[in-house]
Structure 1
């Protein structure tokens, strides 16, 4: 794909606008449900179950969602998933209006929303390269990252205003409206359907299980993709620790005033927003995306260690902002490399596994770091997490196989390649 792709700017603008509106509604529900359960129950167990029902179905379904994204029309999958999520939210709103507000009803709605998010997310990631020229992928991914970070700043404010002045049911209705708008705008986007040519040994179409196995084998055998997934997963685990533990450190070290906790969240969100903007502005001029990605991960490790050593609150906040920036500067090139490197008919499955990593890795980090935070200081855990991340990256770079694999995808796919490079088996390592 090149920049002569007709109407790509219009398609991308309409698609991102619709997804932004839909994302706002989803995040309003996320915050409103969290606050509602906290206020109504004041139970840590209830909050735990809300996370279980709200996240685990997506992690499980992402595997199959990736297969479906490679077998069916991705645009229709996104529309169908969005419609199902909106329907579940509408049903919850009507039940609560009729007086049915049992916890199981809310948990069931969260599970349905999470299930269809597992279908929608890999389809969205795999569809973007179908409507965006390769040379512009990193810029569009940067813009998308900025939008998501901006929603982290806007959504809590809007959710609080609606929830405080009306009620949680009003938030649900807003989500339904934003979903309808998002679906309507996606219908205006022209998306080609991927035509697959692969068949089984007997000439018959590959089964769902065969597709799933093929996806696992692809990641295992495709050196660049395998190492990117490893780097991404470990970084998410070790970056997940500071993102969850920083409010605890603020409370223990700098005070439990609400404004301090709010400021901490704002600095992190602004950092991620800034990183996305940087990628949107200068991303297309980056000639070595692996160097950018690795540098961002190393910076996140060093800055996380700095978080644990900070004794001044504003220095701590500034370091959190920089960690958020580094994360965005890692995420945009990582996603872009996968979109450029992985064959179109395989992207759904690869991004399905990426979805599992993103959904599971950060909560998994809390299984380890959460209990440790009750025995040791958060400062020491942040120092250890940052040091482990730096040590891990240095170890990976010391492996010749990893260096060779990552070098194959360092340059943008649209960059000219030598004849030797063109003939090399770049997909294997």
Structure 2
């Protein structure tokens, strides 16, 4: 295998100028989004010095995302996806502008800030299912996985860069400038999507309201490959999400050093970026089902092994491996959803995938905290990792279509 085929597959950037512009716009917008995430947390804490209000930021983001996305997916499947995405982008930009205004004018009441965050998240939940149809409509089927990998690696890079940039901007110019930069970043996202062709659903349009949502859920439960992919993701996140355990494990094993704690999350992110950068062989393989099963099992096994280690450096290496496995699992899951779902249903199925991606980690962190409260952080890590491996094995054994799935539309 040549060295060039080892790295991220960049064919979509060469073959599709429309995709290239869309990716650039979304990357800039993602940078602004992570800056706003940090800025909101900073502002709410600075105003209240309350962990309850800080936790409420997560609620203001999670509830609209889960509550709006399924119905947004139904709308996306009966409208021009380009227009829906542009509507979500404009709405998000307006919310950022209002946050900037209150930042320059003096702090608004904390509830007003949270309401603006919830409104912005709602617009994001509207645009995300629409964006979920872009890659399979803009690229040849054999390049879909490569296009998704490019989106993933740029998103991961902005997740690393965005908080750092936010910290610098907050220190020099304050919260108003941070919010304003996010507002401007949406202009690039709008530019990237404005040149898209009209993208109405191909096939029968969604029924309005709850009926359309239920049609999408019936497809999910009936399509063995897509259902297996989402169940595998739930097994990995609900049973073994480790983030809530890091402070306790750091205290139990590594003396509570805050530098070590910060490196835990960095190691996961570094592993994820590295795996995506070197994802060329995986995306060209065209077998996302087996890749997802192996990667998800590796995630669980690595976290169980992390629970056993007493060396900080070895632990960081294991977490990097877990982050790499997670990145490949997410990439494979998204590829399966976008290549095995009929276009007329893709908005609703993408919305359901988003809901799983939002709810799974939160439930997993809750599970880890409860188990650790009854036992220890190490026990919660080890048992969660082993349960993840067992559950992934069960899904793979009971869903032979997922084990063998190529990039086709077969069930």
Please state how far the C-alpha of 1:252 moved relative to its aligned partner.
Answer: 4.0
Mapped partners of 2:175, 2:13: distance in 1: 43
Moved more, 359-368 or 36-45: 36-45
TM-score (norm 2): 0.92
Question: Does 1:250 find its partner at 2:277?
Answer: no
Residue 133 of structure 2 is aligned to residue 126 of structure 1:
yes
1:210 aligns with 2:206: no
Rate the CA distance shift 1:188–1:379 in 2: closer, same or farther, 3 A: same
Which residue, out of 154, 157, 164, partners 2:171?
A: 164
* Alignment partner, residue 84 of structure 2: 77
Deviations 1:351-402 (A, max 9, x none): 1111111111111222222233344321111101100001112222332xx2
State the partner residue of 1:291. 290
Q: Check if 1:228 corresponds to 2:216.
A: no
Q: Which moved more, 1:16-25 or 1:146-155?
A: 146-155
Partner SS, residue 71 of structure 1: coil
Does 2:201 match 1:194? yes
SS state of the match for residue 398, structure 1? helix
Q: CA RMSD in A?
A: 2.2
How far the C-alpha of 1:42 sits from its partner, in A, is 2.7
Segments of 5+ residues of structure 2 without an aligned counterpart are 1-10
**1:202 aligned partner:** none
Asked whether 1:413 is paired with 2:408, we answer: yes
Aligned-pair CA distance for 1:8: 4.8
Within 2, Cα distance between the matches of 1:251 and 1:164? Answer: 30
CA distance in 2, matches of 1:219, 1:86: 32
Distance 1:31 1:283, change over 3 A: same
- Indicate if the aligned counterparts of 1:247 and 1:264 stay in contact, CA closer than 8 A: no
Structure 1 runs of 4+ aligned residues shifted over 4 Å read 4-8
1:111 aligns with 2:118: yes
CA distance in 2, matches of 1:239, 1:191: 41
| Residues 400-423 of structure 1, C-alpha deviations (whole Å, 9 max, x = no match) | xx22x3256x12239xxxxxxxxx
**What is the 5 A alignment of 1:15-34?**
15-34=22-41
CA deviation map 1:113-165 (0-9, x unaligned): 11112112221112221112110111111121111111121011101000111
- Give, in whole Å, the separation in 2 of the partners of 1:194 and 1:220: 21
The counterpart of 1:47, out of the listed 25, 44, 54, is: 54
Relative to structure 1, the CA distance from residue 149 to residue 5 in structure 2 (aligned partners, 3 Å threshold; closer, same or farther) is: closer
Residue deviations 1:252-306 (CA, integer Å, cap 9, x gap)? 4324444323322221111111121122x22343143211111101111110101
Report the CA distance between 1:79 and its aligned residue: 1.4
Distance apart, 1:191 and its partner CA:
4.9
- CA displacement, residues 326-364 of structure 1 (integer Å, 9 cap, x when unaligned): 011111111111111110111101111111111111112
Gaps of 5+ in 1: 199-204, 415-425
